[in-house]
Structure 1
């Protein structure tokens, strides 16, 4: 490969991050939740939430005068604390009114049509849901799980005067960079794009086969 061709490919690969963000937005528009997306790409839910908020897909939460506008089951509050994601943001991601959602989760018989709230809870917090309803966890496996932390190899390429980073389990995922950090970041973005694409396919198949998932929100 000629040097100018190599440089051209490296310039094109700079758009990987933008394409990753586009695929995250696509997946959210199809109905995947913020927490599901965070599992797929192994990033904090706050990171995914803020990306979607900046893209205009999630509304900005209004500041409340009181922090006790709604109460949660302590077990559920702990789940949110563990992932450093607020209940208010979770509701915004699902296009829920926080007060109504809190009542529907706590007292479903007091709210009309609680199914959408419960379905969202089942998807994002399956372990909590099983404990709360005395169900075996095997009965409600999450639709999306975190990746298995694949192995990475980074080498200096003398011929092209750059670093090459690849995922050992997926040798087709290989990216270059003038610095070790840049090569690793590009490879990571490529891997996350692959994960998002596979998750979108899985979600579409689940809908087609009538697996019980919450209806996609109008994002």
Structure 2
């Protein structure tokens, strides 16, 4: 018998379902792609889904063919950007070039140059890159372009962590002798089922699958025209 410190878990015999697992991932990625095509940015989706990194969202979009791929990083671009923007991107571990990839801005050098100037209503790329930065990082945009009006007080909403929600689930982990693998499933969510070579790996994979299912539910609630 094996038990988690965070969740109630006990070993039992249970069926496996690789097709169900694939369907969960396919549904999640399809909804993510739909939200992106509806105008929700990579950074917005990262925050909305409480994803650890925007690169996770970008990887899905690249795998689905929505974005060609990652542009080769050029650190020289940080010398062109306004200092506050340059420092912000380097601090958050999200490369400015890849941020441009998420917005389908291919000319990142020109985008950086345009951000070093005020927004030009007559320039389409200037409008796009300024609007994108203001959309994703409104506090940063205000500090850079409207420093006198910027409010130094910031508030952050606190949501229930994924670990806290996962801890309330009832988990069953079983060993299949014929397949020589462990199967983990959440009682409350039958579709949340995974297989792995060890008990610990099964638990970790189940936690990740749970996160995908919860994010899929959130994506389905987004307003998409």
Smaller-chain TM-score bracket: 0.5 to 0.7
Whether 1:77 aligns to 2:86 is: yes
In structure 2, the partner of 1:32 is 40
Say which one has the larger Rg: 2
* Offset at residue 194 of structure 1 (A): 1.2
Task: Say if 1:146 and 1:52 are closer, same or farther in 2 by CA, change over 3 A.
Answer: farther
Whether 1:128 aligns to 2:151 is: no
In structure 2, the partner of 1:192 is 215
In structure 2, the partner of 1:13 is 20
Whether contact under 8 Å (2:21, 2:193) holds in the other structure is no
Structure number with the higher helix fraction is 1
* Offset at residue 52 of structure 1 (A): 1.4
The CA RMSD measured in Å over matched residues stands at 3.8
Q: Helix, strand or coil for the counterpart of 1:59?
A: coil
Q: Among 192, 203, 207, which residue is 1:180 paired with? A: 203
Q: Helix, strand or coil for the counterpart of 2:15?
A: helix
Normalization by structure 2: what TM-score? 0.66
Whether contact under 8 Å (1:163, 1:180) holds in the other structure is yes
Gaps of 5+ in 2: 1-13, 177-182, 196-201
In structure 2, the partner of 1:45 is 54
Q: How does 1:79-158 map to 2 (within 5 A)?
A: 79-96=88-105, 97-108=107-118, 112-113=123-124, 114-132=126-144, 133=146, 134-136=149-151, 148-150=160-162, 151=164, 152-153=166-167, 154-157=169-172
In structure 1, the partner of 2:31 is 23
Normalization by structure 1: what TM-score? 0.68
Aligned length: 190
Task: Say if 1:46 and 1:182 are closer, same or farther in 2 by CA, change over 3 A.
Answer: closer
Task: Say if 1:174 and 1:52 are closer, same or farther in 2 by CA, change over 3 A.
Answer: closer
Task: Say if 1:14 and 1:174 are closer, same or farther in 2 by CA, change over 3 A.
Answer: closer
* Offset at residue 98 of structure 1 (A): 1.2
* Offset at residue 61 of structure 1 (A): 4.6
Alpha-carbon distance between aligned partners in 2 of 1:22 and 1:190, rounded to the nearest angstrom = 13
Gaps of 5+ in 1: 1-5, 208-219
Task: Say if 1:85 and 1:158 are closer, same or farther in 2 by CA, change over 3 A.
Answer: closer
Q: How does 1:208-219 map to 2 (within 5 A)?
A: none
* Offset at residue 128 of structure 1 (A): 0.6
